[in-house]
Structure 1
Amino acid sequence: MIERTATIASTVGLHARPASIFAEAAGELDAEVTIARVGDPIEDAVDADSMLALMSLGMEFGEVVVLRTDDDSAGAALDFLVTILETNHDA
Protein backbone atom coordinates (compact mmCIF):
# COMPACT_ATOMS: atom_id res chain seq x y z
CA MET A 1 0.00 0.00 0.00
CA ILE A 2 1.24 3.48 -0.78
CA GLU A 3 0.08 6.71 0.77
CA ARG A 4 0.39 10.43 0.17
CA THR A 5 -0.76 13.31 2.34
CA ALA A 6 -2.15 16.59 1.06
CA THR A 7 -3.50 19.81 2.51
CA ILE A 8 -6.83 21.03 1.15
CA ALA A 9 -6.05 24.34 -0.58
CA SER A 10 -9.45 25.37 -1.97
CA THR A 11 -10.90 28.11 0.20
CA VAL A 12 -14.32 26.42 0.28
CA GLY A 13 -12.77 23.07 1.17
CA LEU A 14 -13.51 19.90 -0.74
CA HIS A 15 -16.97 20.93 -1.91
CA ALA A 16 -18.73 21.15 -5.29
CA ARG A 17 -16.18 22.29 -7.88
CA PRO A 18 -12.98 21.08 -6.15
CA ALA A 19 -14.61 17.74 -5.29
CA SER A 20 -15.80 17.34 -8.86
CA ILE A 21 -12.34 18.04 -10.30
CA PHE A 22 -10.70 15.64 -7.85
CA ALA A 23 -13.27 12.83 -8.26
CA GLU A 24 -13.07 13.03 -12.06
CA ALA A 25 -9.27 12.75 -11.98
CA ALA A 26 -9.41 9.85 -9.49
CA GLY A 27 -11.99 8.09 -11.65
CA GLU A 28 -9.69 8.17 -14.67
CA LEU A 29 -7.01 6.16 -12.85
CA ASP A 30 -6.62 2.41 -13.16
CA ALA A 31 -5.92 2.22 -9.43
CA GLU A 32 -8.55 2.37 -6.70
CA VAL A 33 -7.78 5.29 -4.39
CA THR A 34 -9.30 6.17 -1.03
CA ILE A 35 -9.22 9.43 0.91
CA ALA A 36 -9.63 10.22 4.61
CA ARG A 37 -8.50 12.75 7.16
CA VAL A 38 -5.05 12.07 8.58
CA GLY A 39 -5.50 10.20 11.84
CA ASP A 40 -8.92 8.77 11.01
CA PRO A 41 -9.27 4.99 11.00
CA ILE A 42 -8.63 3.40 7.61
CA GLU A 43 -12.23 2.11 7.68
CA ASP A 44 -13.47 5.73 7.49
CA ALA A 45 -11.80 6.29 4.12
CA VAL A 46 -14.07 6.80 1.11
CA ASP A 47 -13.59 6.17 -2.60
CA ALA A 48 -11.75 9.11 -4.11
CA ASP A 49 -13.73 8.88 -7.33
CA SER A 50 -17.10 9.51 -5.64
CA MET A 51 -17.99 13.19 -5.51
CA LEU A 52 -20.83 12.56 -3.06
CA ALA A 53 -18.59 10.55 -0.74
CA LEU A 54 -15.97 13.31 -0.87
CA MET A 55 -18.48 15.98 -0.01
CA SER A 56 -19.90 13.86 2.82
CA LEU A 57 -16.51 14.09 4.57
CA GLY A 58 -16.97 17.86 4.94
CA MET A 59 -13.27 18.58 4.50
CA GLU A 60 -12.41 22.23 4.97
CA PHE A 61 -9.60 24.50 3.82
CA GLY A 62 -6.31 23.61 5.53
CA GLU A 63 -7.28 20.09 6.59
CA VAL A 64 -4.72 17.35 5.94
CA VAL A 65 -5.89 14.21 4.18
CA VAL A 66 -4.32 10.91 3.27
CA LEU A 67 -4.69 9.18 -0.08
CA ARG A 68 -4.13 5.43 -0.22
CA THR A 69 -3.98 2.72 -2.87
CA ASP A 70 -2.98 -0.92 -2.93
CA ASP A 71 -1.53 -0.46 -6.42
CA ASP A 72 2.21 -0.14 -5.79
CA SER A 73 2.72 1.27 -9.29
CA ALA A 74 0.39 4.24 -8.72
CA GLY A 75 2.80 6.60 -6.96
CA ALA A 76 2.80 9.13 -9.80
CA ALA A 77 -1.00 9.00 -9.93
CA LEU A 78 -1.21 9.79 -6.20
CA ASP A 79 1.26 12.65 -6.68
CA PHE A 80 -1.05 14.06 -9.38
CA LEU A 81 -4.07 13.83 -7.05
CA VAL A 82 -2.09 15.60 -4.32
CA THR A 83 -1.41 18.43 -6.77
CA ILE A 84 -5.14 18.77 -7.41
CA LEU A 85 -5.93 18.92 -3.69
CA GLU A 86 -3.15 21.43 -3.02
CA THR A 87 -4.44 23.82 -5.72
CA ASN A 88 -6.98 26.52 -4.86
CA HIS A 89 -9.69 25.87 -7.45
CA ASP A 90 -11.67 28.85 -6.14
CA ALA A 91 -9.07 31.47 -7.03
Structure 2
Amino acid sequence: MKSIQLTIRNEAGFHIRPAQLFTEKAGAFESTVTLRPEGSDTVADGKSILNLMTLGLEKGSVITLSADGPDEEQAIEQLSELVESGFGEA
Protein backbone atom coordinates (compact mmCIF):
# COMPACT_ATOMS: atom_id res chain seq x y z
CA MET A 1 0.00 0.00 0.00
CA LYS A 2 1.21 3.51 -0.91
CA SER A 3 0.05 6.72 0.79
CA ILE A 4 0.72 10.43 0.49
CA GLN A 5 -0.51 13.52 2.32
CA LEU A 6 -1.94 16.28 0.15
CA THR A 7 -3.59 19.65 0.65
CA ILE A 8 -6.72 20.72 -1.22
CA ARG A 9 -5.63 23.87 -3.10
CA ASN A 10 -8.56 25.04 -5.21
CA GLU A 11 -10.68 27.90 -3.84
CA ALA A 12 -14.00 26.07 -3.93
CA GLY A 13 -12.63 22.94 -2.23
CA PHE A 14 -13.64 19.41 -3.15
CA HIS A 15 -17.04 20.16 -4.70
CA ILE A 16 -18.88 18.14 -7.37
CA ARG A 17 -16.57 18.87 -10.33
CA PRO A 18 -13.30 17.92 -8.59
CA ALA A 19 -15.00 14.87 -7.07
CA GLN A 20 -16.15 13.78 -10.51
CA LEU A 21 -12.68 14.27 -12.01
CA PHE A 22 -11.13 12.36 -9.11
CA THR A 23 -13.52 9.40 -9.31
CA GLU A 24 -13.13 9.14 -13.08
CA LYS A 25 -9.34 9.02 -12.79
CA ALA A 26 -9.43 6.68 -9.76
CA GLY A 27 -11.78 4.34 -11.62
CA ALA A 28 -9.14 3.78 -14.28
CA PHE A 29 -6.97 1.93 -11.75
CA GLU A 30 -7.32 -1.62 -10.53
CA SER A 31 -6.05 -0.62 -7.09
CA THR A 32 -8.32 0.34 -4.23
CA VAL A 33 -8.17 4.11 -3.70
CA THR A 34 -9.14 5.80 -0.43
CA LEU A 35 -9.10 9.31 1.04
CA ARG A 36 -8.96 10.15 4.74
CA PRO A 37 -9.14 13.72 6.05
CA GLU A 38 -6.47 14.68 8.58
CA GLY A 39 -7.66 14.14 12.14
CA SER A 40 -10.58 11.96 11.10
CA ASP A 41 -11.28 8.25 11.24
CA THR A 42 -13.55 8.56 8.19
CA VAL A 43 -12.21 6.80 5.11
CA ALA A 44 -13.89 7.41 1.76
CA ASP A 45 -13.80 5.21 -1.32
CA GLY A 46 -11.97 7.26 -3.95
CA LYS A 47 -14.06 5.67 -6.69
CA SER A 48 -17.39 6.80 -5.16
CA ILE A 49 -18.46 10.37 -5.82
CA LEU A 50 -21.00 10.16 -2.99
CA ASN A 51 -18.35 9.02 -0.50
CA LEU A 52 -16.05 11.87 -1.54
CA MET A 53 -18.77 14.52 -1.30
CA THR A 54 -19.58 13.51 2.28
CA LEU A 55 -16.06 14.48 3.39
CA GLY A 56 -16.82 18.21 3.03
CA LEU A 57 -13.24 19.07 2.09
CA GLU A 58 -12.51 22.79 1.80
CA LYS A 59 -9.47 24.70 0.58
CA GLY A 60 -6.59 23.94 2.93
CA SER A 61 -7.95 20.55 4.03
CA VAL A 62 -5.19 17.96 4.42
CA ILE A 63 -5.97 14.45 3.22
CA THR A 64 -4.20 11.13 3.10
CA LEU A 65 -4.52 9.52 -0.30
CA SER A 66 -3.89 5.76 -0.28
CA ALA A 67 -3.82 3.15 -3.01
CA ASP A 68 -3.48 -0.61 -2.62
CA GLY A 69 -3.10 -2.94 -5.56
CA PRO A 70 -1.06 -3.80 -8.64
CA ASP A 71 -1.00 -0.24 -10.04
CA GLU A 72 -0.84 1.64 -6.72
CA GLU A 73 2.24 3.66 -7.63
CA GLN A 74 0.67 4.98 -10.83
CA ALA A 75 -2.59 5.70 -8.99
CA ILE A 76 -0.83 7.73 -6.29
CA GLU A 77 1.25 9.59 -8.86
CA GLN A 78 -1.62 10.56 -11.17
CA LEU A 79 -4.20 11.28 -8.46
CA SER A 80 -1.79 13.38 -6.41
CA GLU A 81 -0.96 15.39 -9.55
CA LEU A 82 -4.68 16.03 -10.04
CA VAL A 83 -5.14 17.23 -6.45
CA GLU A 84 -1.97 19.34 -6.50
CA SER A 85 -3.05 20.99 -9.75
CA GLY A 86 -6.16 22.29 -7.98
CA PHE A 87 -8.29 20.24 -10.37
CA GLY A 88 -7.57 22.86 -13.02
CA GLU A 89 -9.28 25.52 -10.89
CA ALA A 90 -6.48 26.90 -8.72
Q: TM class, shorter-chain normalised?
A: 0.7 to 0.9
| Aligned counterparts of 2:61 and 2:29: Cα–Cα separation in 1 | 24
Following TM superposition, by how much is the alpha carbon of 1:72 offset from its aligned partner in structure 2, in angstroms? 6.4
The answer for the alignment partner of 1:48 in structure 2 is 46
| Aligned counterparts of 1:10 and 1:86: Cα–Cα separation in 2 | 9
The answer for the alignment partner of 2:74 in structure 1 is 76
| Aligned counterparts of 2:20 and 2:75: Cα–Cα separation in 1 | 17
CA contact (8 A) 1:38 1:64 kept: yes
| Aligned counterparts of 1:30 and 1:55: Cα–Cα separation in 2 | 22
One-letter identity of the residue aligned with 2:44? V
The answer for the alignment partner of 1:65 in structure 2 is 63
Pairing of 1:3-18 with structure 2 (within 5 A)? 3-18=3-18
Runs of 4+ in 1 over 3 A off after TM superposition: none
What TM-score results when the alignment is normalised by the length of structure 1? 0.86
One-letter identity of the residue aligned with 2:7? T
One-letter identity of the residue aligned with 2:33? V
**Deviation larger for 65-74 or 55-64:** 65-74
- Percent identical: 35
Please state whether the residue corresponding to 1:33 is helix, strand or coil: strand
| Aligned counterparts of 2:89 and 2:2: Cα–Cα separation in 1 | 29
2:67 is the counterpart of 1:90: no
What TM-score results when the alignment is normalised by the length of structure 2? 0.87
CA contact (8 A) 1:47 1:53 kept: yes
| Structure 2: stretches of 5+ with no match in the other structure | none
Following TM superposition, by how much is the alpha carbon of 1:3 offset from its aligned partner in structure 2, in angstroms? 0.7
Query: CA RMSD, aligned part only?
Result: 1.5
